[in-house]
Amino acid sequence: MSGEVVPIRLERVRKRFGRLKVLDDVSLDMPRGEATVVLGRSGTGKSVMLRHIVGLMAPDSGRVLVLGQDLTRLSPPALAAVRRQVGFLFQNAALFDSLTVGENVAFPLRRHTRLPEPEVRARAQDKLALVGLARDYEKMPAALSGGMRKRAGLARAMALDPAILLVDEPSAGLDPITSEEIDDLLVRVKEELGTTLVVVTHNIPSARRIGDTLVFLYEGRVLERGDAARLERSGHPIVRQFLASEAGG
Average pLDDT over residues 214-232: 93
* 4 and 117 fall within a common domain: no
What is the extent of the structural domain holding 226? 1-85+162-249
Longest CA pairwise span in the chain (Å): 56
Whether the predicted pLDDT of 1 surpasses 60: no
* 216 and 105 fall within a common domain: no
CB 167 within 8 A of CB 89: yes
Would you say residue 218 lies in a domain? Answer: yes
* 130 and 69 fall within a common domain: no
* 101 and 175 fall within a common domain: no
Q: How many whole angstroms separate alpha carbon 88 and alpha carbon 126?
A: 18
Whether the predicted pLDDT of 249 surpasses 50: no
Whether the predicted pLDDT of 59 surpasses 90: yes
- What are the backbone dihedrals phi and psi of residue 175, each rounded to the nearest 5 degrees, phi first? -75, 160
Average pLDDT over residues 179-184: 91
Average pLDDT over residues 204-209: 92
Can you give the length of the chain in residues?
A: 249
What pLDDT digit, counting tens, does each position of 116-165 carry? 999 999 999 999 999 999 999 999 999 999 899 999 999 999 999 999 99
The residue from 108, 133, 160 where one domain ends is 160
Q: pLDDT band at 247, cuts 50/70/90?
A: low
* 67 and 176 fall within a common domain: yes
* 81 and 3 fall within a common domain: yes
The DSSP annotation for 83-103 comes to: HTTEEEE-TT----TTS-HHH
Report the CATH number that the domain containing residue 209 is assigned in CATH.
3.40.50.300
What percentage of the chain has pLDDT greater than the value 90? 78
* 13 and 77 fall within a common domain: yes
Average pLDDT of the residues of the chain: 91
- Between 6 and 173, name the one with better pLDDT: 6
* 173 and 65 fall within a common domain: yes
pLDDT of residue 202: 86
The total domain count for the chain is: 2
* 101 and 75 fall within a common domain: no
* 77 and 100 fall within a common domain: no
